[in-house]
Amino acid sequence: MRKFKIPAVPKSTNKTIRFPNDVIDRVEKEITGTDCNFSMFVIEATRVALDNLEEDRQQCKNTE
């Protein structure tokens, strides 16, 4: 059986990034009424994009 461990807060670095206003508006509309904030949304979207890129790379390698 897996034992419970108290999770640690992951290390992070503050980055300043500019978003077009229309993108900000769309993200804020999507997260309205949820427990998600802008940063959490962007982090998850970035993780999914990186995973998609890796999957695409793997598919290209498998077709060679």
Share of the chain above pLDDT 90, in %: 80
pLDDT over 90 (residue 27): yes
Distance CA 49, CA 52 (A): 5
- Give one word for 23, left, alpha or beta, with left for phi > 0 and alpha for psi -120 to 50: alpha
Distance CA 40, CA 46 (A): 10
Distance CA 36, CA 34 (A): 5
User: Is 14 among the domain residues?
Assistant: no
- Banded pLDDT at 63 (limits 50, 70, 90): confident
Distance CA 19, CA 46 (A): 14
pLDDT at 33: 97
Query: What's the whole-number mean pLDDT along residues 2-21?
Result: 92
User: Is 56 among the domain residues?
Assistant: yes
The number of folded domains in the chain is 1
Q: What is the pTM of this model?
A: 0.78
User: Is 8 among the domain residues?
Assistant: no
pLDDT at 11: 92
Q: What is the mean pLDDT of the chain?
A: 94
Give the range of the structural domain holding residue 45, as residue numbers without chain letter. 21-63
